[in-house]
Amino acid sequence: METAREADWALLFTGTPDVYRSSGFASFSMPRTLRGPWTAPAFAAVAGRVERETVGLGSLGALGEVYERSRADRVVLAPVRDDRDWTMAEVRMRGARLYRWVEGSAVRGYAIADTDGGLGRLLECAVLPESDGSAAVYRELYSAVAADWAAAAVGACELAVPALPEEERVIHDVAPHAVRQEDRTGMVRPLRREARLHGIRHFTAGDYF
């Protein structure tokens, strides 16, 4: 803390919050995931717009603008990733399936998902918010994910998505039985002012150690 004199407040995530309370940290909640049983939705994946590849080194480099614009002025607490952070996100999500919604040569949205036994996990998703038909882009991305999950006999899901209205509506169609879960591993400590955390807060699998 002595080296962070220009910071307004400090943030950490931990599974042992009692260790840090004596240093002035206080816990906060974050609805980071939805979990529940899953069955394949009735609508089918739309071919042609969604491209698939496996996450590996270099595969996420072109997605930074989509991610940043999907969160800017909409999610009050979300990581700002530099090149090193994107490389680490590739390492953390290596082997997962990347779905990119492409128009011409431009990526307008993407999703990253995998399966673990009968569990389908949506690790991250982002769509350009100002584009016309952003809900349709979400729907096509989730349709592609759902097609792969159905083929893998997925019976339960964990979806790491922020509570953005246009995405929430599509999520309800794709996973109607999934329920928001509160993550209470986050802690903050005021340094020069109180943290302003009123609004949507969200981190993904690409941001955790």
Look at residue 1 in the predicted model and tell me its pLDDT. Answer: 46
Q: How confident is the model at residue 125 (pLDDT cuts 50, 70, 90)?
A: very high
pLDDT at 108 over 80: yes
Residue 45 has pLDDT above 70, yes or no: no
**Range 31-181 classified under CATH 3.30.390.30:** no
Enumerate the domain spans of the chain. Answer: 31-181
CA pair distance 30, 186, nearest whole angstrom: 8
The DSSP call for residue 79 is P
Q: Say whether 92 sits in a helix, a strand or coil.
A: helix
Look up tokens 């759902």; give the residue: 146
